[in-house]
Amino acid sequence: RAAPLPSAGVPAPAADRAQRVSATLSLEVKDTDALSAATQRAISTTRALGGYLLTVSYGSGESGAASLVLKVPSGRVQEALAELSALGTITSQNVQIDDLQESLDAANRRINVLRKRIASITAKLEGTSLSTDERTGLEVTLQSLRDELAGNRQSAQAIRGEAAFATIRVDLRTEAEEEVVPVAPSRVDRAVDDAVRILAIEGIVLLYALVVAVPLLLVGGLLWVAFRGLGRRSRERLLEA
């Protein structure tokens, strides 16, 4: 069995950058009872760390399996993986970190530009020297900038939210039954098997011979009795004559 991986071997996200952390963890447990307990423990561990359960699928049978998608604070992902890996025997583990800081910086820069342009247009609209067409054009532009600003704010918020929580997928499975490897027969075993096969063949031949011979012997016996009876009656007739 694979030994549990220490939490020190799991890379930690940078505290000063927005990063998306995703991890997968595959574990084997002893039986379906252990599978149920490990599933419940994974959920309670996630909640204790300030995270939450996103999805779970569970199936028990001769070979049970469960799959959970968990969200935990990115700053506690090492702690989460260390505790989750103790739920069974690790068969595989993977951690991936994607940097989102550049996307967040770009969204923030665009937000600042939009704010300045919105402030400038708003100031112009407060003047009284604008014609109707000019005012209408500025109002249309202002609404477009405000819509773009709202979209960039949503993007920045989504990036920060994605960076705040790591996604951990945990796959649990009961241990596979060990296959019984057949032992090669010894020379003595092979000799005994050959002798048994020979005896079996001889028995079949003898049985076939009996099946064929018995009816013939029976018919022959009946014919002998019949001829003997005829001979006796012939002699009796001769004596009477």
Q: Is the pLDDT of residue 176 over 80?
A: no
Q: Can you tell me the distance from the alpha carbon of 150 to that of 193, in angstroms, rounded to the nearest whole number?
A: 85
Structural domain spans, the chain: 7-101+164-174, 108-162, 186-230
Instruction: Identify the pLDDT of residue 10.
Output: 67
- Average pLDDT of the chain to the nearest whole number: 83
Q: Bridge partners of 90? A: 27
CA angle 124, 130, 135 (to 5 degrees): 75
Q: Torsions phi, psi of 54, nearest 5? A: -90, -55
Comparing CA positions, the residue from 16, 182, 168 lying closest to residue 94 is 168
Interval 92-110 mean pLDDT: 96
Quote the crossing angle between the two packed helices 77-85 and 32-48, to the nearest 10°.
160
Instruction: Identify the pLDDT of residue 189.
Output: 65
Q: Is the pLDDT of residue 219 over 90?
A: no
Confidence of residue 213 (pLDDT cuts 50, 70, 90): low
Proportion of the chain above pLDDT 90, given as a percent: 59
Instruction: Identify the pLDDT of residue 1.
Output: 37
- Write out pLDDT tens, residues 35-77: 999 999 999 999 999 999 999 998 876 678 999 999 999 999 9
Instruction: Identify the pLDDT of residue 172.
Output: 96
- Write out pLDDT tens, residues 157-166: 999 999 999 9
0.85 cut: is pTM over it? no
Q: Is the pLDDT of residue 175 over 90?
A: no
Q: Is the pLDDT of residue 11 over 90?
A: no
- Dihedral (CA of 9, 10, 11, 14) sign: negative
| Fold for the domain defined by 7-101+164-174 | Alpha-Beta Plaits (3.30.70)
User: Do 163 and 71 touch, CB atoms closer than 8 A?
Assistant: no
Q: Rg (Cα) of the chain, in Å, rounded?
A: 45
Q: Is the pLDDT of residue 4 over 50?
A: no
Confidence of residue 225 (pLDDT cuts 50, 70, 90): low
More confident residue, 122 or 208: 122
Q: Can you tell me the distance from the alpha carbon of 213 to that of 60, in angstroms, rounded to the nearest whole number?
A: 63
Instruction: Identify the pLDDT of residue 129.
Output: 87
Instruction: Identify the pLDDT of residue 210.
Output: 58
